[in-house]
Amino acid sequence: MSPQGTALPVQLSFLELLKVRQAAFEGPLALLLDLIKKHKMEIHQICLAEICQPYLDYLGLMERFDLEVAVEFLDIASTLILIKSRSLIPRAEDPEETEGPDPETELKERLAAYQTYRHLAETLNRFELLGRDSFSRPYDLDEAEPGDEILEELTLFRLIDSYVQVLARSEFKKPHQVEAEELSLDQQIEQWVKLFTPGEHHRFWSLVGEEASRPKVVLSFMATLELSKNAGLKLTQAEQFGDLHLYVSDAFANFKAEYQVSRQKMA
C-alpha cells in the first residue's frame, strides 16, 4: 500500500501503535479527520492532496502489524491518489473535459457529515457518563398498608383537591337560581356542634345531602375544617377525591360544653 520509497519507522511507541489500531477500528473517515486535525485546519480549507501520503503511510503500518485493511480504506486511498494526481497535472481549460463531480468536494462533504455525527455521538456519550455517575434515591417497592389517610397530615394541595371535588359535586344541572343564603358559617358550626356526639362517625355527603345547594356545601365544608382545627374532629379520606369521613373524638365533649356556655353568654 505504501510506496516503496516511503520510509516506515523501525520502532513505534505503544501510543502510536494504539493510534494505528484505533484508525483500523474506527474507519477511514475517522483517520482522515485525525490527519486534518494534525494540520490544524478546517475540512473545507485544507487541500486533501496534502493528506494523501500520510494516509498511505498509515495503511502501510496497518499491513505491517497484520491489521486487516478494509475495502473502505482502499476506496478512500484511491480517491486521495486521484485528488493528488489532479493537483499535480494542469487542469484542462475546456469545460467539457472537466464535467462530472469533483472527488475532492464529494469527499469533503462526506467528512463534514461524518464529523457532525461524530460530535453528536460524543455528546450522547457524555450524557450517558453523567447518568452513570449520578445516583438517584431508590424507590420504595413496599406496598403501603391499606387504610384511611388522616387529612391533618396531607398537603394544602390535597385540601384544595377536596374542596374542588366538593364544588364539582354540588353543581346543579338545572338553571341557576339566586337564592337567599340560609345559614352563616357560625350557624352551620352551631348546628353541627349540636348534632355531633363523641364516638360517632359520619360521612360528609350523608350529612350535607347530594342535592344540597352550593352555598350549603361550601359552608358545610368550611365548618368541617373549623371543627377539625379546634374541636377534635378527625377527618380521613380513603382516596383522593373520595368522600370525607368525620370521626368525633372524646375531646369533642369538652369543646361542645365550652361552646354551649359561650353561646349562652352571647344570647
Q: Are residues 127 and 21 in the same domain?
A: yes
CATH number of residue 239's parent domain: 1.10.10
In a domain, 252, yes or no: yes
pLDDT of residue 65: 64
pLDDT of residue 4: 41
- Tally the domains of the chain: 2
Q: Are residues 154 and 216 in the same domain?
A: yes
List of residues 6+ apart from 241 with CB closer than 8 A:
161, 162, 165
Beta strand residue intervals within 132-226, DSSP E: 149-150, 201-203
In a domain, 4, yes or no: no
In a domain, 236, yes or no: yes
In a domain, 137, yes or no: no
Distance, CA of 249 to CA of 238 (rounded, Å): 19
Q: Are residues 182 and 119 in the same domain?
A: no
Q: What residue has cell string 493528488?
A: 84
Q: Are residues 128 and 165 in the same domain?
A: no
Q: What is the identity of the amino acid at 185? A: L
| Tens digits of residue pLDDT in 167-222 | 666 554 444 555 555 678 888 888 889 999 999 999 988 888 878 888 888 888 88
- Distances in Å between the Cα of 232 and the Cα atoms of 20, 75, 102, 243, 246 are 80, 87, 89, 19, 10
In a domain, 2, yes or no: no
Q: Are residues 30 and 124 in the same domain?
A: yes
Domain of residue 38, residue span: 14-91+100-132
In a domain, 163, yes or no: yes
Report the chain (267 residues): mean pLDDT per 10 consecutive residues. Answer: 41 52 69 81 82 83 68 83 82 57 85 82 68 55 48 53 63 51 80 90 87 83 86 80 84 88 79
Q: Are residues 156 and 243 in the same domain?
A: yes
Q: Are residues 114 and 159 in the same domain?
A: no
pLDDT of residue 1: 44
pLDDT of residue 110: 86
List of residues 6+ apart from 215 with CB closer than 8 A:
179, 181, 182
Q: Are residues 122 and 186 in the same domain?
A: no
